[in-house]
Amino acid sequence: MSVVLEFDNLHYTFPGSETPALCGASLRLEAGCRIVLLGRNGAGKSTLLLHGNAILRPSAGQVRLNGAPLEYTRRGLLRVRRQVGLVFQNPDDQLFSASVLQDISFGPLNLGLSNDEARRRVAEAADLCGVSDLLDRPTHALSGGQKTRVALAGVLAMGPDILLVDEATSGLDPWMRQQVFGIFNRLVERGATVALATHDLDAAQHWADTIVIMSEGRVIAAAPSAQIFGDPELRALLGPGREWGDCL
Amino acid sequence: MRVIDRCAFGNALRPIDPAQKGGLAFLAIILCLALDRPAVGVATLLWMLALTTWWAGIPLRVFGRVLLTEGLFLCLSVASIALSIGGEAPGTMIVGWKIGALWISVAPESLALATLTLTRSLGCAAALNFLILTTPLIDLIELMRRVWLPEGVIDVMALTYRAIFVLLDSLERMTTAQDARLGYATARTAMRSAALLAGQLFLDAYRRNQRMQVALESRGFDGTLRVLPLTYQRSPRIWQASVALTASLMLAGMVG
């Protein structure tokens, strides 16, 4: 399979911080893959995803999209953000408009699409995310799960080939979580790549094709799900799962 | 605020073009001010009450509560018009009290002026209430976009409106967390908790603003918040109501 997004030896330190968030992180995302990023809090998962959408620019190293290094010019950023979508952990950080329809239409209009085309994209993304009946509702009247799906629709309306999801499934009830993973599956069936940063080991084991483990700003393992869970040494890197013995 | 917002989103007139509803409210205000009669103010109030409760389906108690709040402020203001304070007994008065060397009295002409001011203000307030209770702020912002208000102003209004609810949620969560740890058990701790809450809320808003900026950029934000215009229905009944309102207010103006 072809590599669509590649992080090559990335280094990054947040302004005002002494500890680097990324120090030599490298990862390749292949087309049509389901990837789960695991790691402890502060391991660098979110920072890596922010580099994938060109929100952050590495102090050293390179991000390549379809083999070409990212350009941090206005046109270059527009190209990246058309192809790489990013969904945030808290939908309230992403939903800026009080109108669901207007929020979802924001991304497509930024791509320079006409109102008619944007309206078509909004309808399509809303349908995919099961929020068509919420388009006339105010954002602040939605439940947490509905907000997550609207936030997802706002990104999918831009038609990205790669979807980066930063812990957006945490805090959802099992039914809503199933719906959101259903949306991810439909995207992958269409040929998109979905990379999800999470602490959900169940999702990692049962949903992911590839599991990526990060620690202290580096990718320390990237392998098929079965291999990670089949190897006690690699499995130990994920931390305690259902082994409650030590806690009881 | 949440009650007003819920009514604005959930009433029978929500799908109607805000320009039509705004036009009707504006017409009522203009007539109320131009005809300048107590009867016109009362008629406007009754019209708006009927439109809001009977047509839009807003509960009477909601309309009443909003108007009562405004009415209390108005009563305080018109009391200063109605009452006269002087050292000597006024020539003509409806009622008066002598307190020490001072006379507090209500003269017929000042009572008439106070009545006119009160009824006119209540009529105008009722017209505005009709608009805010039947039209959510996003529709009013949409209306302002159509009348070519500067985009920067529109964007700030839209973001502020959304931020109010996000901040209200934060406020409720933080207050509950403080209350659960006896933060409001005594007047002293309540003062301290409220002060801490205010500071924390400011920091929360600041951090949230930074995260929203990042989220906007990730969707291609370049300084302008581009969104699809909202679509509405045109109602011929609004035109009919406008004609009937004009005729009845003019009639009321002739009566008194």
Q: A132-162: per-residue pLDDT in tens?
A: 999 999 999 999 899 999 999 999 999 999 9
Q: How confident is the model at residue A241 (pLDDT cuts 50, 70, 90)?
A: low
Q: How far is A104 from chain B (nearest CA, A)?
A: 8
Average pLDDT over all residues of chain A? 91
Cβ separation of B212 and A94 shorter than 8 Å?
yes
Residues of A in contact with B162 (CB under 8 A): 95-98, 139-140
Distance from the A165 Cα atom to the nearest Cα atom in chain B, whole angstroms:
12
CA distance A166 to chain B (A): 12
The distance in angstroms from the start CA to the end CA of chain A is: 45
Residues of B in contact with A111 (CB under 8 A): 220
Q: Is the pLDDT of residue A242 over 70?
A: no
Band (pLDDT 50/70/90 cuts) for residue B8 is very high
pLDDT at B104 over 90: no
CB contact under 8 A, B136 and A107: no
Please give the structure tokens belonging to residue A199.
Answer: 């602490």
- Give the C-alpha separation, B256 to B254, whole Å: 6
The pLDDT tens digits for A7-53 are 999 999 999 898 999 999 999 999 999 999 999 898 999 999 999 99
Q: Model pTM?
A: 0.86
What is the pLDDT confidence band of residue B195, given thresholds at 50, 70 and 90?
Answer: very high
Confidence of residue B127 (pLDDT cuts 50, 70, 90): very high
Among B224, B229, B63, CA closest to B138: B229
B210 class by beta-carbon count within 10 Å (0-12 exposed, 13-18 middle, 19+ buried)? exposed
Quote ipTM for the complex.
0.84
From B13's Cα to the closest Cα of chain A, the distance in A is 14
Select the residue of B9, B166, B208 nearest A141 (Cβ to Cβ): B9
- In this complex, the residue of B208, B219, B222 whose CB is nearest that of residue A154 is B219
| Percent of chain B whose pLDDT exceeds 90 | 64
Q: Is the model's pLDDT at B63 over the cut of 60?
A: yes
Q: What tokens were used for A4?
A: 């669509």
Q: In 10 A of CB A221, how many CB atoms?
A: 17
Cβ-count burial A147-185 (b if 16+ within 10 Å, e if not)? bbbbbbbbbbbbbbbbbbbbbbbeebeeebbebbbebbe
Closest CA to B5 of B162, B195, B124, B210: B162
Q: Which of residues 128-147 of B touch A (CB under 8 A)?
A: 136-138
